[in-house]
Structure formats: C-alpha cells, structure tokens
C-alpha cells in the first residue's frame, strides 16, 4: 500500500511527499494493517482506486473499488465517490455507472459467496445484529466514543482510544478545509478524496452508540490526498503526533484491550 501510494501520488512532491508517506505509515488504525484483519488489502485497493480515478481509467477504478468492498464491508461506500468523480470528469453517465457499479458489485459478490457457502446471503447482518442493533444519531455516537477524553476518572486506555477518534475528526476537518481553500484547482482526485473521507469517517457513526472506531478509522486514509497540499511545517508535527498515537494504540492492541 505504501509503495502504491508513493508511486501514485507522492514521489514528485519532495519533502511533503515523504512526510505524507510517513503519515500513511502511522495513520490511525495502522496496527490493524499488521493483524489478521484485511485492512492492509482494503487500503491497497483504496489507493489503487484513487490512482485509476486520477488517470480516468474508470473500469479499473471500479475493479479496484470492488477489491475494497471484497476486503472490508464498508468498502462498498467507495462506489459513491467513484461514480461522482467519473461524472464530474466526463459529464456522462456511462463512466459513472462503470466506476461506481463495478465497485458496488464487490459487495454483491460477497453476498453471493455467503449464499453459496453458508446458505444465507445476509449472514453478515445476522453475525453483527447484536452489536449493531439499530441506526443511531451520529453526533450522539461520536460523543459516546470521545467522552472518556474529557473524563479524568475514565480508564486511561479508553482515553487513548478517544484521542484517536478526536484526532481522526481533526484530520477530516483539516482535510476538508484544505479542499475548500484549493477549490479553484478542481480535479477528480480531490472530489473523490473528499467524498471518500466523509463517507468512511461518518458511516461507522450511524451503526449504533458504542461502536469501535479504531479499526474503521484506517479507511479514512484518502484524507491524506487532501492534506498533501499543506506545507511541510504543518505536516511535520502531525507526523510526530500520529506516530505517538500509533505507538500508544499498538500497546493497547498487543495487551488485548483492542480487538
């Protein structure tokens, strides 16, 4: 994933490219790229999707998007940014349907495989129904996650997880602010990154209060394609903070607090 990100977006950015590469290596949720979860595969496919969007290769963007959906259940969300970027670039329907439809087909293939292997196309829903009982108010869910950061009597481990959630929210706001400032330089990658960032950050907050964000935060990685417009003096302290946070979250993972 890091090699793909470097060659696709960063190698001609000088010092900022190296700093963003470092940010990607310690991005929130990075510990799950080394665990049994398919996070690293999903992120590789996500980076490749952005690369093909940048090149206007809509069929390949759809295939890479399908890889995201096959690897991670919320990966199907990338179909929306794919379709939007293709439409904004070409102003025609066919590329949007190809880029978005192929990506969405990844989830469809998962459902088919569940039916063939398990006899239940909705097996994923039944597995997670107890943990995700209903749609929630996103703001309420977010406050429930970050609450320990403001409670001196809470478990320090919970405060660390809350710090990551606050950090990701800050990165999202910073990335969107950068996109607004750079709006006079439109491009399919920027619109794709904005929509991907928003969807991958906000959607997990809708599945219920108490949801664990520390795994799904990893898929907010497209925000780095917005933050690369920041100067090096702004990226450097971000890298230091994310490295410290990644070390702390790694400790929680390897001591069994996070799963």
How do the domains of the chain map onto residue ranges?
Answer: 37-130, 132-259
Highest-pLDDT range among 24-28, 120-124, 152-156: 24-28
Cβ atoms of 75 and 69 within 8 Å: the answer is yes
CA distance 68 to 53: 14
Q: What is the pLDDT of residue 131?
A: 56
- Of 166, 228, 227, nearest to 201 (Cα)? 166
CA distance 235 to 228: 8
HSE, side-chain direction, 13 A CA sphere, residue 219: 31
- Of 82, 112, 106, 101, nearest to 192 (Cα)? 82
pLDDT band, very low/low/confident/very high, at 184 (cuts 50, 70, 90): confident
User: 182-191, 192-201, 244-253: lowest mean pLDDT where?
Assistant: 182-191
- Of 106, 25, 86, 74, nearest to 198 (Cα)? 74
- Taking residues 136-156, report their average pLDDT: 86
pLDDT band, very low/low/confident/very high, at 141 (cuts 50, 70, 90): confident
- 176-183 contacts: CB < 8 A, separation 24 or more? 176/226, 178/226, 178/227, 178/229, 178/230, 179/226, 181/229, 182/229
- Which H or E run includes 172? helix 156-181
User: 71-80, 133-142, 179-188, 238-247: lowest mean pLDDT where?
Assistant: 133-142
* CB-based contacts of 112, cutoff 8 Å, min separation 6: 121
Highest-pLDDT range among 28-37, 52-61, 117-126, 147-156: 52-61
- Which H or E run includes 164? helix 156-181
Count the Cβ atoms, other than its own, within 10 Å of residue 82: 34
pTM (two decimals): 0.93
User: pLDDT (tens digit, 9 = 90+) per residue, 5-53?
Assistant: 999 999 999 999 999 999 999 999 999 988 888 999 999 999 999 999 9
Helix 79-90, helix 188-202: angle, nearest 10: 160
CA distance 199 to 31: 22
CA distance 157 to 8: 36
Tokens of 205: 């907050």
Cβ atoms of 11 and 17 within 8 Å: the answer is yes
What's the DSSP call for residue 122?
T
CA distance 32 to 80: 25
Average pLDDT of the chain to the nearest whole number: 92
User: pLDDT (tens digit, 9 = 90+) per residue, 203-259?
Assistant: 988 876 556 788 899 999 999 999 999 999 999 999 999 999 999 999 999 999 988
């Amino acid at each position: 994933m890091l090699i793909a990100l470097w060659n696709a977006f960063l190698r001609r950015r000088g010092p900022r490219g190296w700093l963003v590469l470092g940010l990607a290596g310690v991005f929130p949720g990075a510990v799950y790229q080394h665990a049994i979860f398919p996070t690293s595969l999903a992120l590789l496919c996500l980076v490749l999707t952005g690369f093909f969007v940048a090149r206007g290769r809509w069929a390949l963007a759809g295939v890479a998007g399908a890889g995201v959906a096959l690897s991670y259940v919320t990966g199907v969300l990338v179909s929306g940014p794919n379709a939007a970027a293709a439409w904004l670039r070409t102003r025609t329907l066919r590329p949007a349907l190809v880029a978005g439809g192929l990506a969405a087909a990844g989830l469809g293939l998962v459902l088919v495989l569940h039916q063939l292997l398990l006899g239940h196309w909705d097996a994923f829903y039944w597995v997670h129904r107890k943990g995700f009982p209903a749609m929630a108010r996103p703001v309420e869910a977010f406050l429930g996650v970050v609450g320990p950061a403001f409670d001196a009597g809470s478990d320090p481990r919970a405060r660390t997880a809350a710090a990551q959630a606050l950090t990701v929210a800050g990165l999202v706001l910073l990335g969107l602010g950068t996109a607004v400032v750079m709006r006079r330089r439109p491009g399919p990658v920027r619109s794709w990154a904005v929509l991907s960032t928003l969807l991958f950050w906000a959607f997990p907050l809708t599945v219920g209060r108490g949801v664990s964000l520390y795994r799904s935060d990893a898929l907010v990685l497209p925000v780095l394609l917005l933050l690369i417009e920041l100067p090096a003096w702004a990226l450097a302290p971000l890298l230091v903070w994310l490295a410290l946070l990644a070390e702390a979250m790694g400790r929680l993972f390897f001591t069994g607090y996070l799963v």
